[in-house]
Amino acid sequence: LVFNSIKLTGFKSFVEPTEFLIEPGLTGIVGPNGCGKSNLLEAIRWVMGANSAKAMRGAAMEDVIFNGTKTRPGRNQAHVTITVDNSARIAPPAFNDEDTLEIMRIIEKDKGSKYKINGKTVRAKDVQLLFADASTGANSPALVRQGQISELIAAKPSNRRRILEEAAGISGLHSRRHEAELRLRAAETNLDRLEDIVGQIE
Ligand code: ATP
Q: Residue with the nearest Cα to atom 2 of ligand 1?
A: 33
Nearest atom in ligand 1 to 67's CA: 28
Nearest atom in ligand 1 to 146's CA: 4
DSSP string spanning 125-183? HHHHHHHHHTT-STT-TTS--TTHHHHHHH--HHHHHHHHHHHHT-HHHHHHHHHHHHH
Q: For residue 164, what pLDDT is reported?
A: 76
Q: What is the ipTM of this complex?
A: 0.90
Q: Residue with the nearest Cα to atom 26 of ligand 1?
A: 12
Edge-to-edge strand list for the sheet holding 112-117: 18-21, 3-9, 77-85, 100-108, 112-117, 120-122
Distance (angstroms) between ligand 1 centre and the Cα of 39 equals 6
pTM across the whole model: 0.75
Distance (angstroms) between ligand 1 centre and the Cα of 36 equals 5
Q: Binding site for ATP: which residues?
A: 32-39
**Percentage of the chain exceeding pLDDT 70:** 95
Ligand 1 pocket, mutate which of 9, 11, 13 (most atoms under 8 A from CB) = 13
Q: Residue with the nearest Cα to atom 13 of ligand 1?
A: 36
Question: What's the pLDDT tens digit per position in 157-191?
Answer: 888 887 778 777 777 788 888 889 999 999 999 99
pLDDT above 70 (res 106): yes
Question: What's the pLDDT tens digit per position in 54-105?
Answer: 777 777 889 999 999 999 999 999 999 999 998 888 777 878 888 999 999 9
Mean pLDDT, residues 136-161: 76
Q: Residue with the nearest Cα to atom 14 of ligand 1?
A: 34
Distance (angstroms) between ligand 1 centre and the Cα of 179 equals 37
Lowest-confidence pick of 5-9, 34-38, 134-138, 173-177: 134-138
Question: What's the pLDDT tens digit per position in 117-131?
Answer: 999 999 999 898 888
Distance (angstroms) between ligand 1 centre and the Cα of 55 equals 14
Instruction: Please identify, in words, the CATH class of the domain defined by 3-140.
Output: alpha beta
Look up residue 79 and give its amino acid. Answer: H
Query: How far apart are alpha carbons 102 and 82 in whole angstroms?
Result: 6
Distance (angstroms) between ligand 1 centre and the Cα of 154 equals 27
Per-domain boundaries in the chain? 3-140, 172-202
Question: What's the pLDDT tens digit per position in 16-26?
Answer: 999 999 998 88
Query: How far apart are alpha carbons 190 and 65 in whole angstroms?
Result: 44
DSSP string spanning 13-68? TB-S-EEEE--SS-------TTSSHHHHHHHHHHHTT---TGGGTSSSGGGGB---
